[in-house]
Structure 1
Amino acid sequence: MDVFWTLPPVTRTITALAVSVSALGYGGIISLSQYVFYSPAVFTIKAVPQAWRIFTAFLITKPKFAILLDPYFLYQYGSSIERESTRFSQPGDFFVYTLFVGSVIVGLAGRLLNAYTFLPALSLAYAYTFAQDNPSRQVSFFIVNFDAKYLPFALLFMTFIIDGGEPALAQLTGLVAAHLYDFLTRIWPTFGGGKNYIFTPQIVKRWFGATAGSVQNRGYGHVVQGRGRATGTGAGAEPASAGRSTGVSNAWGGLGPGRRLGSD
């Protein structure tokens, strides 16, 4: 259990719940029909909306060997970007990213394509963001090694071969969701001169332990959560993030001033 609590919080929670719910369902202990996404049961005014299906549909794997394989892919790429990606340098950033891509997946796969489960699409979203951050990194896909930029397409191809066209199309919505996040938060603000409207609220940062002056240990170094300063004017001004990230861990045991080499 000590090891479990040291894992990235968002990915570990989704992975653990996915294994638990799927194992209980395929083991006949619970009925997965009450957990899959069913649009008429969720978006209705004739009865109490079964809103939990929006979330539980992300916790159901495919049967048999996929009970292990699907959570493996989810954790492999989700934990990597939650730990290391510079996109998510502030506490809670990865949580907001997951909420955004999950919402897009529900809209596209659930409402338009009538898909019942979304975990493969979420795994593909994580894999796409991982590939965007590490395009030249070598990854192993079963017995094949290739650049990470081809990883999302390998996952899609495997789904198409094993499960067919409709599941592959539903999984593709994860790639669309992750690319939309990349466009709205990086491409459009950087190259199009637009504004990034996707940000992490202060309350979410506090959920993930952010306090003024605290040090957030990460896989690639640490993040110092700043005290914030106001930007803009008027009541709608947002506090600017003053956090900073280092490329390596602080090996000197503090953040105070150093000394000139050779000095006493």
Structure 2
Amino acid sequence: MSFQDAYWAAPPISRTITAATVLISVPGHLGLYSLIWVLFLKDYVFTIRQLPQIWRLVTAFFITGPQLGLIMDPFFLYHYSSQLETGSPRFSRPGAYAWYIFFVASVIMLTGGIYLGGVTLLNPLSMALIYTFAQEDPNRVVQFFIIQMPAKYLPYASLAITYLMGGPFATMIQATGILAAHLYDFLDRVWPQFGGGSQWIKTPQFVEKWFGTPAGTGTARTYGTAFNARANGPGQAAPQNQTGSGGGWASGSAWGSRGSGRRLGGE
């Protein structure tokens, strides 16, 4: 398989943000242009004295560290992003993962960028992915460098490494990723399921339509293949539920909804 084939076979959102990270960071660290043009500097974004440089709201999430960071940061970004995009049931609906990325990035921008003054936000974005990955199965055993540990400890081990190598300020910026992912989990799952509240961050319909695939098209995921339902035509009844107690094949109740029938050879 060629590199081009491998790229297009990768999960679409994960490959896009990873490619953006490489294309923005590598030339900057090699001196082909100055990274000062893509850092998040709020005085250049929120200004009326000159044209606001709003691209910094996006590019700040795609700047790696120098040297080894040029390899490790995109690797971890793609690894955990692709795991969530293809392996998490909560992101099975069209556009759900893109909406998750937008939500956590917005919270990181407000807290780590605007409030704390961080100029690069890739580390907190990766931390948000790690935290959500760990929440999917907290007790699974994962490899962290040469140490094996339950996934629930992975975010905090990453914070400890950042504290040792980058200091308290870098650790606070990275921790905003945990805040963002925890807030998403609370509003998307904890509050609706256990608090009896509404799901406040449901994926908007226009996002679902944008990322939707044609009816009947299968999407490969780690737990199987998800198929989009066929749209109902004019005058067509809504499709029956195929599983559970609503009249599915598994429960056998679907047979009871087909009438009494007639005996073969009868009137």
> Into which bin does the TM-score normalised by the smaller protein fall?
0.7 to 0.9
In the superposition, relative to structure 1, how do residues 187 and 244 fare at CA in structure 2: closer, same or farther (>3 Å)?
farther
Distance 1:244 1:28 in 2: 58
Is 1:45 matched up with 2:55? no
**94-103 or 135-144: which moved more?**
135-144
* Residues 156, 172 of structure 1: 8 Å contact kept: yes
Indicate which of 186, 196, 199 corresponds to 1:193: 196
Distance 1:126 1:243 in 2: 33
Offset at residue 48 of structure 1 (A): 1.2
Residue 9 of structure 1 aligns with which residue?
12
Offset at residue 169 of structure 1 (A): 0.3
Residue 136 of structure 2 aligns with which residue?
133
* Residues 21, 62 of structure 2: 8 Å contact kept: yes
Offset at residue 223 of structure 1 (A): 1.6
* Residues 58, 117 of structure 1: 8 Å contact kept: yes
- Could you report, residue by residue, the CA deviation over 1:156-205 in whole angstroms, capped at 9, with x for unpaired residues? 11111001110110000000000000000000001111101212233322
Distance 1:243 1:58 in 2: 41
Aligned pairs for 1:70-219 (under 5 A) are 70-219=73-222
Residue 225 of structure 1 aligns with which residue?
228
In the superposition, relative to structure 1, how do residues 244 and 31 fare at CA in structure 2: closer, same or farther (>3 Å)?
farther
Identity level (%): 47
* Residues 224, 243 of structure 1: 8 Å contact kept: no
**How many pairs does the alignment contain?**
234
Residue 262 of structure 1 aligns with which residue?
none
Indicate which of 28, 34, 41 corresponds to 2:31: 28
Structure 1 runs not aligned, ≥5 long: 230-239, 246-264
- In structure 2, the residue corresponding to 1:90 is in which secondary structure? coil
Distance 1:52 1:168 in 2: 25
- Could you report, residue by residue, the CA deviation over 1:140-171 in whole angstroms, capped at 9, with x for unpaired residues? 11111111111101111111100111011000
Distance 1:243 1:141 in 2: 42
- In structure 1, the residue corresponding to 2:196 is in which secondary structure? coil
* Residues 86, 220 of structure 2: 8 Å contact kept: no
In the superposition, relative to structure 1, how do residues 155 and 243 fare at CA in structure 2: closer, same or farther (>3 Å)?
farther
- Could you report, residue by residue, the CA deviation over 1:112-134 in whole angstroms, capped at 9, with x for unpaired residues? 10000000000000000000002
Residue 19 of structure 1 aligns with which residue?
22
Is 1:68 matched up with 2:81? no
- Could you report, residue by residue, the CA deviation over 1:54-98 in whole angstroms, capped at 9, with x for unpaired residues? 100001011111111111111111110111101101121100000
RMSD: 2.0
Offset at residue 52 of structure 1 (A): 0.3
Offset at residue 26 of structure 1 (A): 0.7
Name segments (4+ residues, structure 1) moved above 6 Å.
242-245
Structure 2 runs not aligned, ≥5 long: 233-237, 244-267
In the superposition, relative to structure 1, how do residues 130 and 244 fare at CA in structure 2: closer, same or farther (>3 Å)?
farther
Q: Which has the larger radius of gyration?
A: 2
